[in-house]
Structure 1
Amino acid sequence: MRLQATEERSSVSPLELFFDLVFVFALTGVTELMAGDGGSARNLVRGLLAMAVLWWCWIGYAWLGNVIRADEGFARVSLFFAMGAMFVVAITIPEAFEDIAGGLSGPVVFAVGYFFVRLMHLVTFWLVSADDPQLRRQLLRFVPSMATGTTLLLVASQLTGAAQTAMWVAALVGDYLGTLFGGEGWRLNSPSHFAERHGLIVIIALGESIVSIGVGVANLPVSWPIILGSMLGLAVSGLLWWAYFDTTTLAAERALAAATGERQIRLARGGYSFLHLPLVIGIVLLSVGLKKVLNYAGDGSSHSLTEPLHGTPLVALFAGPAVYLLGLAAFKAYVTATMGPVNALRVATAAVLLLLIPLAGQLPALAALGLLAAVLLALVTYETLGFADHREEIRHGAHPA
């Protein structure tokens, strides 16, 4: 049961990837929650709140796995218990706010599952910090915000309507702010492992967006609209992947590795723990929009092919990539301490996507998806060709000959 420290050049372990599969299942539940009731604004807000809770569960284990190897000793047992609790949380997402008649209370089960995921994280960190007084003190500063968040979620499980939503918000604010202002006494043994872990969760979230495309038309006869919609949806996901992995993640990882002491902890916490949340939220919103577009494409009627998107699915389709690009620009600017022309271009593109929502609402759903893909393709193409020297330097360490 001996714990083993994560080494500087460690890579993400298979067990951590296994844990992340439970997280992606939870993302699927969030997408379904947002898309429920025709994609109402209420469900959108609830999905965002559930997403923020799930993210904070995952973040704790990303930090833990960077201090000790997740697949060695007691950490392995702890992670499996946490996976079980996380899976219970995931299957309870449809009932996280409103209990379905019969069986256990969904909101209570969700809150208790969340508490258990956080408890296993604390217990394991407590064992890890046995010979590290500074880490132990940091952990003790962290406990009040964690306890406050879980307690308020339990209180929220007994409420309904606006009071319940307000209690969820209070729980998240307390938890997030407690972490933000709780000090820089954490440990980061491997910047490369930390960056890799967050990059993989972005891939997993993008994978969920692809799953949402396939699931919506899995039982329908293949048609040209389905093929076209699937390819456009895949192109959008691929372009978002390109925007993150082509140069941004490389530049950020090097900046994180070059930092030391408390500054490195602040960069990891702010750039990865906080500013990766908008990336995942943006992808989940995109999934909601893609799901609706493919429903139209798979309907088969001429009316469905000419019908425009409207309401929450339309907003989610364009606002999702916009939130993603804004989060990406903020992440790179924060970690590398420079805004740069690439980030400014991404902010401008995000603004364009938001301004295009009224126009997209007048177009057929597939045409709106095509418009989104075209804007993202223009952005990635311009970045790749217009900043070729900068890109070459980041990717290969030197200007082209």
Structure 2
Amino acid sequence: MTDGTARPSRPRLRLLAEDASVTELELFFDLVLVFAFTQVDDLAAHHTTAVNMLRALLVLAVMWWVWIGYAWLGNVAQADVGLIRLALFSAMGAGLIVAVVIPEAFEDMSGGLHGPLVFALAYLVIRLIHLVSFWVISAKDPQLRRQVTRWSAGSITIGTTLLIIAAQAHGTAQIWWWIGAVVGDMGWTLLAGNEWRLNSAGHFAERHGLIVIVALGESIVSIGMGVAGLPVSWPIIAGVLLALSVSGLLWSAYFDAAADHVEKALKQARGPRRVQIARNCYTYWHFPMVVGIVALALGSKKVMAELGGTEDHALTGIPLLALYGGPVLYLLALIGFRHYATGVVLWARLLTAGILVALTPLAWHLPALGALALLAAVLAVLISWERWRYPECV
């Protein structure tokens, strides 16, 4: 029996409003990337060699490209409604498989399925879900349909095809196929045009600010994992607090004197310029920020491991370069992020990055705790100066 009242039909799609905020489903989607960041950090920490660092970077680039595609998708159509809701849940499933297979992305483990091929095929599924979703959204938008067509002609075919080929290769050849896939994806997107839709500048900026927090959160997890199972000691307590301080200072560097200015420029821009700011400042400049944070996580984990020993040995080699190079890369990316949108160069940050590079040889000869303390001190001076110089930004 029914009362004769017609139920309202659920919309298949709902375009995002200008004043929209990030949805709970998008935050849920980001949990896959949290796990992926942890997997990349473990991959890098397993063998601290140059080749393994390159492998970790390439995997991180692929996972970033997964996330960035759905960040753009969620800015055109509301993520928790209709077909896009289904697309995000489906992409989460494939994305979780990709993240699980990260340890086998280059070298297959004995037994089970062929890890590199599973990684490549799951990535293909994610990209196809994304493409179909954009194709449906653009049905009544000729401009967006042209953009999606141009982009898909190269981006989908280059990245996914080369990763499938890489799954069958080994050694140096495999690395080059991976590099081709990443460069092909990122390069084709840059050249494919500026006719994308950006319905909400506030939503887009918030989305990327949250992913910075996610990455910084993973760096804090790495601090805890670095001392897990070790007896607590005063050096460990000091190291944990210093490492947390470094993550907090990097958080301040993003939100105090960069994020609001770029978001304002994005909101004021119109036409192709708006798309260019969104693509270059957020899609591209945020990637080295995330790389820098993941590198810092690796360095912090190695510091914690040193503090768990009977002696506080010096941190050298790739772990030290990650500890100092991560914040340097992060600061340089923030400079490019702010400059492209506003034309302003954050000279204090450029100077700080140079100082950290210059101090790296000194840190090479310091105990691990001393190297971490020196890094925290330099970043604290930068943030303190900016808070005094630009009080309106805090």
Corresponding residue of 1:227: 237
Matches within 5 A, 1:170-319: 170-299=180-309, 301=310, 303=311, 305=312, 307-319=313-325
1:147 Cα deviation from its structure 2 partner: 1.4
CA distance in 2, matches of 1:358, 1:105: 43
1:27 alignment partner AA: F
Of 118, 123, 133, the residue aligned with 2:132 is 123
Which stretches of structure 1, 4 residues or more, deviate above 3 A after TM superposition?
none
Q: Which runs of 5+ in 2 are unaligned?
A: 1-10
1:218 Cα deviation from its structure 2 partner: 2.3
Pair 1:374-2:383 in alignment: no
CA distance in 2, matches of 1:125, 1:253: 24
2:151 alignment partner AA: F
Q: TM-score, normalised by structure 1?
A: 0.94
Corresponding residue of 1:348: 351
Of 62, 72, 76, the residue aligned with 2:71 is 62
Corresponding residue of 1:93: 102
Deviations 1:325-367 (A, max 9, x none): 000000000111222xxx1111111121122111111000011
CA distance in 2, matches of 1:28, 1:294: 16
Q: What SS does the aligned partner of 2:232 have?
A: coil
Deviations 1:68-93 (A, max 9, x none): 11000111111001001110110111
1:290 Cα deviation from its structure 2 partner: 0.3
CA distance in 2, matches of 1:218, 1:36: 16
Of 328, 332, 345, the residue aligned with 1:326 is 332
Corresponding residue of 2:344: 338
Pair 1:24-2:34 in alignment: yes
Of 159, 162, 179, the residue aligned with 1:169 is 179
2:135 alignment partner AA: W
Matches within 5 A, 1:351-366: 351-366=354-369
1:236 Cα deviation from its structure 2 partner: 0.1
CA distance in 2, matches of 1:61, 1:126: 13
- Count of residues paired in the alignment: 383
Q: Which runs of 5+ in 1 are unaligned?
A: 396-401
1:103 Cα deviation from its structure 2 partner: 0.7
1:298 Cα deviation from its structure 2 partner: 2.0
Of 99, 120, 136, the residue aligned with 1:111 is 120
Q: What SS does the aligned partner of 2:308 have?
A: helix
1:313 alignment partner AA: P
1:89 alignment partner AA: V
CA distance in 1, matches of 2:384, 2:123: 42
Q: What SS does the aligned partner of 2:231 have?
A: coil
1:218 alignment partner AA: A
1:224 Cα deviation from its structure 2 partner: 0.9
1:111 Cα deviation from its structure 2 partner: 0.6
The RMSD of aligned alpha carbons is 1.0
CA distance in 1, matches of 2:125, 2:305: 37
Pair 1:43-2:52 in alignment: yes
1:365 alignment partner AA: A
2:383 alignment partner AA: V
Q: TM-score, normalised by structure 2?
A: 0.96
Of 383, 386, 390, the residue aligned with 2:386 is 383
Corresponding residue of 1:398: none
Deviations 1:47-98 (A, max 9, x none): 1111111111100000000001100011111100100111011011111011
* Identity fraction in percent: 55
Deviations 1:307-327 (A, max 9, x none): 101111010000000000000
CA distance in 1, matches of 2:103, 2:221: 19
Deviations 1:186-239 (A, max 9, x none): 000000000000000000000000000011212222211111110000000000
CA distance in 1, matches of 2:212, 2:272: 26
Corresponding residue of 2:170: 160
